[in-house]
Amino acid sequence: SSETFWTTTGMFPQEFIIGFPKCVKISKVAIQCYLGKTSCIAYCTLFFIISFKIYFLDLQHTEGQLQMEEFPLPDFQATYLRFIIKSAFDHFVSVHRVMAEGT
């Protein structure tokens, strides 16, 4: 729902993890958020999370509107996606939608 979102608590870094029922191949990730600055996506292919591989993202500032960023990624397989918000353009960040495209 576009009316719901996840928000940080005001300190950084903040993170959330999305899990898939099985390992999937991902070619692109899109994120819709507000006031995010530097983030990274970490991914893991194991059923039990032991370690994550990290891909860094820089978000463009958009005054007064949601940021909508798409990041083509090299095809990789993941069971979990971990989003880490490292910094923001303000004290809080809201994440409204995350989409992973692939098979």
Report the CATH superfamily, name and number, of domain 6-102.
Galactose-binding domain-like (2.60.120.260)
Mean pLDDT, range 3-14, rounded to an integer: 86
CA gap 87, 30 in Å, rounded: 18
CA gap 45, 24 in Å, rounded: 9
Q: Please give the pLDDT value at position 48.
A: 62
CA gap 38, 35 in Å, rounded: 10
Q: Please give the pLDDT value at position 72.
A: 81
Q: How many CB atoms lie within 10 A of CB 35?
A: 20
Q: Is the pLDDT of residue 6 over 80?
A: yes
The two three-digit tokens of residue 27, written as one number: 């070619």
Specify the residue for token string 């006031």.
Answer: 35
Give the pLDDT confidence of 42-77 residue by residue, as tens digits. Answer: 777 776 666 667 767 788 788 888 888 888 877 778
Q: Where are the domains of the chain?
A: 6-102
Q: Please give the pLDDT value at position 50.
A: 64
Which of the pair, 87 or 55, is modelled with greater confidence? 87
Prediction pTM value: 0.80
DSSP-derived secondary structure for 46-61: SSS----EEEEEEPPP
Q: Please give the pLDDT value at position 2.
A: 66
CA gap 97, 61 in Å, rounded: 17
Q: Are 78 and 8 in contact (CB under 8 A)?
A: no
